[in-house]
Structure formats: C-alpha cells, structure tokens
Amino acid sequence: MKEGKKAKDRLIKLFSILIFSTLFILFFPYKEEKVYRMRIGEIPQENIVAPFTFKIQKTEEEIEKEKEEILKGASFVLSPILRPSIDSEVIKLQIENINPVIKKTFLREAKKLYKEIEDYVIIENPDTIRKKEAKFVILLTPEGDKIFPSEKIMSMEEIRSMVKKRAKEVFPFDPQLSFLFEELISPFISPNYRIDYEETELRKEKLISKIQKYRGIVYKGEIIAKKGEPLTKEEVEKLEAMEKFKDESFFSRFLKFLKRYILVLLVIFFGYFSIRFLFPEIYGDTKILLIVIYNTLLFLLISGILIKLTNNPFYIPFAFIPFFFYFVCGRRFGVFITIITAIFTAIYSGMSYFFFLFFILIGKSGILISRYLRKRFDLILGFLFLFITSFILAYFFTSYMGFQIKLSEILLSSLISSGVSIIGIITLLPFEEKILGITTDFILLELSSPDHPLLKRLEEKAPGTFEHSIQISELARIAAERIGANPLLAKVGALFHDIGKTENPKFFIENQKNPAENPHDKISPTVSVTIIQNHVKKGVELAKKYALPESIIRIIERHHGTLLITPFYEKAKKINPNIPEEEFRYKCPKPEKKEEAIIMLLDGIEAKIRTLEKYEFQSISETIDSVINHRFADGQFDECEITRKDMEKIKYAILPILIHRFHSRVIYPPLKVKEKIV
C-alpha cells in the first residue's frame, strides 16, 4: 500500500515538473537580438553575401492592403431561383371578352415585356450590392459562372414600376386596360436570383489565400549589399528579411527552444534534487512540494506576462516569493527558493546577471522583513519598507547600468511590484490556508497565544498538564531549530499535544495534588489503560472541534505512537502473566515528520527526568540517551525521516536547558521560629 502511494507521488512530482518546464518555456518573453541592425544610408565594411536562399516577406501592412483591394473588388455570388414562366392561356382566359385587336396587342406586349424582364437579375435586396459599389456580380448558371453587370440588377419594386409604366404606354387612354395589364403580368414576376452569402465568403477566402506572402527571392551567394556603398531601402529590407528568415527557420527555432528547455530543466533538476537532499521534510510531503511547484510556476507566468506587457522587469512582484515561502515553509527554505526563483526570473529578463542580483537583493529584503511580521496587519508596514527598498535598488542599478528609464517609471514600478507582492500574500495565503490546509506562521502565531480557548481550558482543568506543555513547547522550539524542522510548528504542537487530558485530568499524575490518592488504585489496570489511551482520541476530537490545523492534529495523534504504557502493563502482569502486551500499547499512528518525533521524544524525556532522585548532568544525559534508544528500538521512528544524528543534535541542544531547569538545590537548615512580638 505504501509502495503504491510512493509510486503515485513520484508520478505526480514528475508530471508537475514537466508542466512547470513546458509552461515556463511557452511563456518565455525574451528574444535574442539580430545580427544585422543596419539602417538606410549606413556603409557596410564588407560585401554582405546571402548565406542561404531566402524569400523577402511582405510586411503585415502590405498584406492587409492587398486584402483590402481584393475585398473591395470582390464580387457577390448570386444563386438562381426558379420562378413561373408567363402563361398565355391564363391571360387569354382573363381577356376573352376583349376586342380581338386589343387582345392581340395585349398578348404581344405582355410577352415582349416578360422577355425584357428576363434580361434583368431580380433580387430582394440589391442595395446590399449597390452599397459596396461592386461593378459586377457572378451568376451561378448551369453553364458555369457568368459575369453580370451590377447596373442590371433590379429589385421587385423597380420591376413593378417598370410594368406599371409599360401598361400606361400600351394603353394610354384606357386606365382599366392598363390596370388589367399590370395585374395579369405581376403574378409571373418574382426574384430569379438571391445573394449566396456562403459562396461569396468562400470565394473571398479563396482569393485571399492566393495572396503571395513574399515579394521576392534572394538566392544563396547573391550579394545583398556592396562594400563602401550606402545601403538603400531595398537592401535594408533584404537584410531584415534574411535575419527574420534565419530566426523563423524550423531548425533555428527548434535549436533555440531546445537550448532554453535544457537550461530550464537544469535549473529545475538542480532545485528538485536540492529540495530532496537539503529539505527532505518538504520533499516527503507531496502536498507541500506541489504548493511550491505550482505557486512558483504561477509567479513566473505572471512575471512573463508583465515583461511582455511592460518590457520592464522592475514591475515583477518578486518579494512575493520570499514572503510566501517564509510563512509556508520556513526561513531556510524561503532563502533557498528565493535563489532558485531569482535564476528563473533572470532568465525571463534576458539572461541578465544584473537582474539576478537585483532579485536576490529584493528577496533578501523580503526574508528580513518576514522575520518581523507577526500579525497580518504588519504586512502594511512591510509594504512601506519593501517599496522604499525596491525604489532605492532600482534607481541605483538603472543609474549604474545606464538604463534609460524615467524616475517616474522607477517609482511606479517599485510601487506596483511592492503592492502586488503584499496583496498576493494577503489574498493567496488565507485561501491556501483554508482550501489546501497548509499551516503558516501566521496561523501558528495566532494559536500560540495563551488566550486561545483550548489553552485556557487546559490551564483551568489540567494545570499540571498545562505547565508540562509550556515546558515542552520551549524545548521543542529549540530542538526543531537545531535539526532544521519548523520551530514554530513544534512549539505550538507541544502546547496542544495533551489537550485530551482535560477529560479525566485527575487520572494523570501531573494533575494529582496528593499522589497518595491516585484514582488508578481503585480500578483495574485494563480500565486505567483505556482512560490513558483515550486522552489522544479526545485530544484529536477537541482539536477538530476548535478547527486546529491538520499539522497540529497530526502531532496530537502521533505523539505517543504505539508506545507501551509500562506501569499498567506491569501491574496487569502481576494479575495475569499471559496478558497480551498489545492491549497496553497506544493504538495511534507513528510519527512521520520531524516535529511529531520531537514532541514524542521530549514528552518522554521530560516525564522520565521528573522521576530522577538527583538532577545531575550524568543522570539527565543518561536519561535522554535511554529515551532516544528506547524509541528507536521500539520502532517508533521507523516511518519518520529523523535520524540518530538528529537525535544527537537535539540532545546537546536541550541538555543545558534541562540541567538548569531541574538543577539540584542547596539543603538549608530548618528556620527557627521567633517568639511572637506582643
């Protein structure tokens, strides 16, 4: 099961690295300078010969102009519509009572008019064509495309007017016949074509696709510009085309991409393996490692966008990195990730050592500021300090390097970068605290307050346990600092590790005012051990009820691991020698993180030392060794990254404190009671 989880974690880490490197390259904003940057009139010192055959590409403006010309002259395409032909028999029936001479004239003129109308193209909306001022249109006919003049395109209203006019001309003195002529012809007149918008667009696209993107070719070996002769506009255009073609050739672009990708991968793998060996506690926590990868990636993508938009790396809110990771992962890791991110950001900023140094100094300022931020409100003061620092550094470096950047822009970029850094912390940190369940120093500092309701409850109901937790907390902080764990997490974890003892506090010796009246003497060892075991379960329940972070709950849950509760086991063995040992062990997970192991160790050491008859250097030192050896021998640290070397560091860190805390005292002679003065 664990091997499967490890394999899954490795796959997630590898996938995240690939995403990181790919997106980093895709958002790469930096472009290398051209080899030739010559202007019209400059004189080359040697003949410039084309090293390869290339085409002279038209500019975007030239291509757009050609498109406009094509679209302006492009014709509408009209599709035919079937319409009824004139029916002489129908007309004859309508005019059978008319004078034969007039009837003949009527039929002759009707057919003549209909034939004239057939020469026109009739559509519903000719204004669409007229507005475009198209001189001709394309008619789709069975014989193929036919060019047709736009002036002969008519609307239905115009055709009706023509019929009406012709009716008056044929029968000028007989309004009734004129009206009848108009009414009989009109039903046979309808649109014979429609604008085929789809076909029109397809033909436009076809025409546009035929536009040549190049306006000339320069062959390999051709002299582009002659030595000693001023460059003409045409020669400069050829030089620019050569450089552009060089940049856009597949091999060149692929090689450039490959170089960048390899560089990025080298930095990524350097950072990855550095985390693995220098920060195993972060590498071993997949969730934290993914937070590191994706927050760094998010920052770099934003940085790339800012560089593209402003062309000024001073706008990058670099201080976000030391701030964020100081609070999430601690000072040491904050310094490390600041250096790695400074390398990435400098790559984005044009491979500049100048910007690398600038970002390192900004990052160092962020780390220094972070040490003094104890409340979220302190971030406002941090912003002011960061703004002043950024402005001074940016002004100094731009002056030294000779960058042409206005003072107002330096001021604005410092203001924006500092402000965005702080806003990013204020908005992103609480979100990740809540959604991802990470424990930051802000949360831990808030929890360490003695006014926390759980600590007040512990002090009130189990004062002995409260005192024990206070003493353990300071030792835990020192031990964590010595071995590179999180000191604040260890300290706060120690404060809360025994909160479950608020239930049945009298069953724990540190809360018994009179050891002679031990409630365990009145119950069986099995019941006693159940009460002792339950304080872990109750502690976890209380921690969840009061919404303590997951990292604190883990410490509460794991600070006893599967340790044997020896006093009650020995007592039970006297009653039943064959009683199983497992019944008298804690049934909790073993420590996995250094902070959890530290609390288990110090909890045992502090309790063991209190049983000593004499508090001497030798006895305290041997007690520490015995607890360390027992925890390792009992397998309590089998699932934890803590080592014997770490334990040795912890021992020599806490030994002086324990000696001073539990030092022996001088035995004074009894005081003589003076007579009472009347």
Pair of tokens at residue 555: 């410490």
Pair of tokens at residue 219: 């062959």
Alpha-carbon span 393 to 477, nearest angstrom = 36
- DSSP 3-state assignment of 594? helix
116 assigned to some structural domain: yes
Q: Is the same domain home to 580 and 499?
A: yes
Q: Is the same domain home to 319 and 201?
A: no
51 assigned to some structural domain: no
Q: Is the same domain home to 434 and 567?
A: no
624 assigned to some structural domain: yes
What pLDDT is attached to residue 39? 65
671 assigned to some structural domain: no
Burial 442-465, CB ≥16 within 10 A → b, else e: bbbbebbeeebebbeebbebbebb
What pLDDT is attached to residue 16? 83
Tell which of 178, 208, 238 closes a domain.
208
For residue range 617-642, list pLDDT tens digits in order: 888 999 999 999 999 999 999 998 88
- 452: DSSP letter: S
Tell which of 190, 208, 226 closes a domain.
208
Task: Write the CA distances from 425 to 319, 392, 418, 537, integer angstroms.
Answer: 10, 23, 11, 35
What pLDDT is attached to residue 74? 65
CATH code where residue 531 lies: 1.10.3210
Phi, psi of 515 (to 5 degrees): -55, -20
Task: Write the CA distances from 413 to 333, 392, 405, 648, integer angstroms.
Answer: 27, 12, 11, 49
What pLDDT is attached to residue 185? 72
Q: Is the same domain home to 77 and 178?
A: yes
What pLDDT is attached to residue 7? 73
299 assigned to some structural domain: no
Tell which of 388, 412, 442 closes a domain.
442
Q: Is the same domain home to 388 and 517?
A: no
Alpha-carbon span 508 to 499, nearest angstrom = 12
Beta partners for 218? 54
364 assigned to some structural domain: yes
Contact 447, 489 (CB under 8 A): no
Report, as ranges of residue numbers, the positions in the chain whose pLDDT lies below 50: 1, 31-36, 675-678
DSSP assignments along 367-398, one per residue: HHHHTT--STTHHHHHHHHHHHHHHHHHHHHH
- Give a three-class secondary structure readout of 74-133: CCCEEEECCCCCCCHHHHHHHCCCCCHHHHHHHHHHHHHHHHHHHCCEECCCCHHHHHCC
Q: Is the same domain home to 492 and 614?
A: yes
What pLDDT is attached to residue 673? 54
47 assigned to some structural domain: no
What pLDDT is attached to residue 142? 79
278 assigned to some structural domain: no
Q: Is the same domain home to 435 and 494?
A: no
Q: Is the same domain home to 191 and 316?
A: no
Task: Write the CA distances from 440 to 325, 431, 435, 446, integer angstroms.
Answer: 9, 12, 13, 10
As for how many domains the chain has, the answer is 3
Q: Is the same domain home to 560 and 427?
A: no
Q: For the chain, give the number of residues.
A: 678
Q: Is the same domain home to 317 and 400?
A: yes
What pLDDT is attached to residue 134? 73
The residue among 315, 407, 288 whose CA lies nearest residue 9 is: 288
Alpha-carbon span 441 to 477, nearest angstrom = 13
What pLDDT is attached to residue 499? 95
Burial class (CB in 10 A: 0-12, 13-18, 19+), 143: exposed
What pLDDT is attached to residue 564? 92
What pLDDT is attached to residue 678? 41
Pair of tokens at residue 34: 């051209």
What pLDDT is attached to residue 669? 62
Q: Is the same domain home to 357 and 494?
A: no
What is the domain range of residue 601? 462-661
Q: Is the same domain home to 570 and 610?
A: yes
pTM: 0.58
What pLDDT is attached to residue 36? 44
Q: Tokens 């010192």 belong to which residue?
A: 45
